[in-house]
Amino acid sequence: GAGVSQSPSNKVTEKGKDVELRCDPISGHTALYWYRQSLGQGLEFLIYFQGNSAPDKSGLPSDRFSAERTGGSVSTLTIQRTQQEDSAVYLCASSLVGGPYPQETQYFGPGTRLLVL
Amino acid sequence: GIQVEQSPPDLILQEGANSTLRCNFSDSVNNLQWFHQNPWGQLINLFYIPSGTKQNGRLSATTVATERYSLLYISSSQTTDSGVYFCAVYSYGKLTFGQGTILTVHP
């Protein structure tokens, strides 16, 4: 596609329910990232996939959060037993190659706005 | 980890004014980006600028990597420039963002 796409755009759920957020990266991009933007914390890194390597999960806030990337393309971020503090905008980004010191641009999707009641 | 600080936190301008936004970072980097977050929340790439100077229309950016700072210049500001401006540096597989500068341009 022309850019990074995410779905759904908005999600309202009840505390304790599970949610799945989807990200479609730019075609041909091998690196994919998830970030979260919340009022009190700003923009923070969650997880990073590069090619077929094991993902860097160092930013996931708890074991209720998990993500997978199928076929080196689409990624799903799953939040189990949602809590009110999970309310935030979840942003996905992709870049061409990635790596520890890439000299390239990350492109962001429009985000999914999650509200946990 | 690397620290990124932006200033000022808020900026209010009249249309047509010029402004300079600053980004300081705590360690050497080889990847720095500036973004504009529009009122709908979309992060729009402005510049990839690990060093040197780039210009794109009314916007320009300069990064002095040896002194660990970057500047974003907005000339002849317009109401559509309003929003939040973020700088972000890349380190160990992730972007670390500053807290942003909230820019409001009044007509």
Chain A to chain B, count of Cβ pairs less than 8 Å apart?
55
Tens of pLDDT, residue by residue over B54-104, are: 999 999 999 999 999 999 999 999 999 999 999 999 877 789 999 999 999
B50, A43: Cβ pair inside 8 Å?
A: no
Considering CB atoms only, which of B31, B88, B99 is closest to A102? Answer: B31
Q: How many CA atoms lie within 13 A of A43 on its CB side?
A: 28
Burial B88-101 (b: 16+ CB within 10 A, else e): bbbbebbbbbbbbb
> Which residues are paired to A75 by β-bridges?
A23, A69
pLDDT value, residue A8 = 97
Tens of pLDDT, residue by residue over A52-109, are: 888 899 999 999 999 999 887 999 999 999 999 999 999 999 998 777 667 788 999 9
- Compute the nearest-CA separation of B43 from chain A (Å): 6
CB contacts, 8 Å: B43 with chain A: 91, 108
| Structural tokens at position B39 | 């009122």
Question: What mean pLDDT is predicted for residues B33-53?
Answer: 92
Side chain identity, residue B22: R
Residue A40 reports pLDDT greater than 80: no
Question: What mean pLDDT is predicted for residues B45-61?
Answer: 95
CB contacts, 8 Å: A105 with chain B: 33, 45, 48
Residue A1 reports pLDDT greater than 60: no
Given pLDDT bands bounded at 50, 70 and 90, which one contains residue B21?
very high
pLDDT value, residue B92 = 75
The verdict on B94 touching A (C-beta cutoff 8 Å) is yes
Considering CB atoms only, which of B45, B88, B96 is closest to A107? Answer: B45
Best mutation target, A10, A34, A106, to test chain B (most B CBs within 10 A): A106
pLDDT value, residue A52 = 82
- CB-based contact B6:B97 (threshold 8 Å): no
Considering CB atoms only, which of A42, A48, A91 is closest to B93? Answer: A48
